[in-house]
Structure 1
């Protein structure tokens, strides 16, 4: 997945452009703030924080993604597992994560570690997928690649989609004022059906479904994307949460 993430870095960023606009506004990064971007991938959200005047550090477990982020420049980047990395206590004003925080093997430990890294009153801003059943893009992929089959269990990228469970998780880790704001905007899989198909074939969800598919799966996927082509690209409906929270003030 990492190689695919780096190869299609521009499309991954363009895929969630509308969601990212809302994410950036919610983060409201100010000049001089110290910002930690968790699961930064190839670093777009880190660079945006730096462009706003922050001292921005992006971390990711993928060496390939961080190498690409450093190549693109614009901020500081480190290979680090945010779940366990010994960040200095109270070092950051803001912790950001755009579709990165869903993948922690031990979420309570991970968010407790991030809470410790924030200064009193510091804020957490996450962009996460809602539950799978609320995301049309998944049903389009499934119905094209493996029609009639039972979908596999939802992957970790949907792990923070339940607001009640996520609120309990964050509060247990030391966060307060947890707020969920729905973002109902389409995702863009590319400028045309052919590009969208090439992009989608490297995604974990599609790879799982292809195990149940036949030789016609790719053709059906391309046709499904063609049905969603617009002048703005291949658009599929999605639902995400903007999650904001704070660490209690001392």
Structure 2
């Protein structure tokens, strides 16, 4: 695993570095294919909006294991794609997969996109699939990305809409709360008016947020999905007695069974497709 101390981060992102270059990143690396499969239904809509051209230079922010980076590179066949993330372990997997899949026009760097000195106006398209919601100081982060975007270049993000609109989030939060009060919160970029103000202040223009709802995949059947979800969220049960933990997992399995289809276990999800332009 890459040492966190080697990565220059803004102090507001130190907690994220510790998580993503630590246990959180390790979990996502282990289950990288499942996470990609989970949001696969968004792929075509996302890349249609990105409109990547053969000679484009593309920046993929919060690229994780690099699925979107490699997909972008297959479109920018005469250009290049840089994927950046805080997780050294996920980036190591991204590099291996790019080599295995023979995608030569990609590179990966472990950096904090909020402060990294990207080449000014060197990027035609900035993309981020669920990787742009975690900046400690969003205005500074998007101002840095805008600086890296050439005039006329594009920004395309996929973010989650408010949690109450995402069946999978509300269901799993409720089950793993096990009767405890859940403080209300949403991730950044979930409010389109706030997003428009933020991105405009950062240097982008023509900001547009389009609601997109897609089914989200969690596993082939109940056992498979339950193992995956408990692995990701089960830590919330660690301070409860065994009886309460058992009941919560039984409740989860019953709910998963209700969402079983002939194609696997699916829950509704709701995202924003956010598009903007660098004037």
Scaled by the length of structure 1, the TM-score of the pair is 0.93
Q: Distance in 1 between matches of 2:237 and 2:134?
A: 20
Where 2:214 maps in the other structure, the secondary structure is coil
Partners of 2:60 and 2:83 within 8 A in 1: yes
Partners of 1:60 and 1:81 within 8 A in 2: yes
Where 2:124 maps in the other structure, the secondary structure is strand
Q: Distance in 2 between matches of 1:202 and 1:114?
A: 34
The equivalences for 1:97-246 within 5 A come to: 97-154=128-185, 158-203=187-232, 207-208=235-236, 211=239, 214-246=245-277
Structure 2, unaligned runs of 5 or more: 1-23
Residue deviations 1:49-98 (CA, integer Å, cap 9, x gap): 11012411101010001000001012211111101100010010000000
Aligned partner of 1:45 among 53, 61, 68: 68
Partner in structure 2 of residue 87 of structure 1? 118
Partners of 1:177 and 1:246 within 8 A in 2: yes
Q: Which has the higher contact order (CA 8 A, sep 6+)?
A: 1
Partners of 2:121 and 2:148 within 8 A in 1: yes
Q: How many residues align?
A: 245
Structure 1, unaligned runs of 5 or more: none
Where 1:215 maps in the other structure, the secondary structure is helix
- How far does residue 18 in structure 1 lie from its aligned partner after superposition? 0.8
Say whether 1:65 aligns with 2:93.
no
Q: Distance in 1 between matches of 2:236 and 2:200?
A: 33
CA 1:12 to 1:215, structure 2 compared with 1: closer, same or farther past 3 Å?
A: same
Partners of 1:70 and 1:77 within 8 A in 2: yes
Scaled by the length of structure 2, the TM-score of the pair is 0.84
Where 1:109 maps in the other structure, the secondary structure is helix
- How far does residue 151 in structure 1 lie from its aligned partner after superposition? 1.7
Q: Distance in 1 between matches of 2:239 and 2:182?
A: 11
Where 1:101 maps in the other structure, the secondary structure is coil
Say whether 1:32 aligns with 2:55.
yes
- How far does residue 209 in structure 1 lie from its aligned partner after superposition? 6.2
Where 1:144 maps in the other structure, the secondary structure is helix
Let me know the Cα RMSD of the aligned residues: 1.6
